[in-house]
Structure 1
Amino acid sequence: MLINFKIIYEKHFRDVYRFIYSLCGDESLAEEITQETFLRALTHIDSFQGKCQMKVWLCQIAKNIFFTHQSKRKRISDCEIDMDNSLPSQDQPLVKALAQKDEALRIHKIVHRLKEPYKEVFTLRIFGELSFAEISQLFNKSESWARVTFYRAKQMIHRRMEEEGSFE
């Protein structure tokens, strides 16, 4: 089946964009997700079986990308909330400290010195943006194990940061 992707793009871009914009209400995010949608569709066009309209297939891809984006944002936000709740006296959560170059280097050094599996679980969760379910599958452990290991890694990092005077 020979498909002219340029025609598909021109015909459906506006519909996919409007669909995503209706979900997020953010023009730049809607445009970014729409572009990602067409890139994914292009790389997976051979999986389109024609059982639904092309526009429906594209909107399904867009919706999946949007929900993945939202879950990543939520994970980062949850991590910031967790950090605030676990150290009430702390001025800034660990994730915000990572955004500052000086603090980020200090945190990376501490993470590098963590023992396994704490180092890997923390890295996969924060930098790899994996869910606890995905981490648990990698280690062949329970999701609870992944959560507890991540929590303990955060505590170790906070404790070492406090010892070094980073959170004063």
Structure 2
Amino acid sequence: MTDFEQIYADYFKPVYAFVLSLSRDAAIAEDITQETFLKAMKNIDAFKGECKMSVWLCQIAKNSYFTYVDKQKRISQDTMLERANLRSPNLEDALANREQAYRVHQALHRMDEPYKEVFTLRIFGELSFAQISGLFGKTESWARVTFYRAKKRLLAELKEDSP
């Protein structure tokens, strides 16, 4: 077994689980995970050992996933709208939830980095603050503060936009 085959064997499941937590779609997660390992294999010389291999691979996976989302122009709005519709017992509630989901999506889209990314990873990716901090190479406290600042900005913007 080559060194890269060993890396693949050791890290496929955690990288796949990470991408699945972002995408919530097994087929997309499988594709992005495969793409991640292809990119890693092509750029293995770029790995300097300054972080864990799993963090490096998850960073590649995260970037690959966001590139995929941008290409698909699907960003989380569709998922939020579907969830809003599934939970709504009647049309009025569905429309209110759809409008709210759209407003959240728009506010997130306008948010600066790293706030938007940290918020997205925490809420939609359901990552812990420790996992987020590892992806950014920062402390857990940084991830926590960044998330709460993003949340505060999002709520303030939604309050401004409310009719």
TM-score of Structure 1 vs Structure 2, range by shorter chain: 0.3 to 0.5
Bigger Rg over Cα = 1
Q: TM-score, normalised by structure 2?
A: 0.44
Question: With CA pairs under 8 Å and 6+ residues apart, which has the higher RCO, 1 or 2?
Answer: 2
Q: TM-score, normalised by structure 1?
A: 0.42
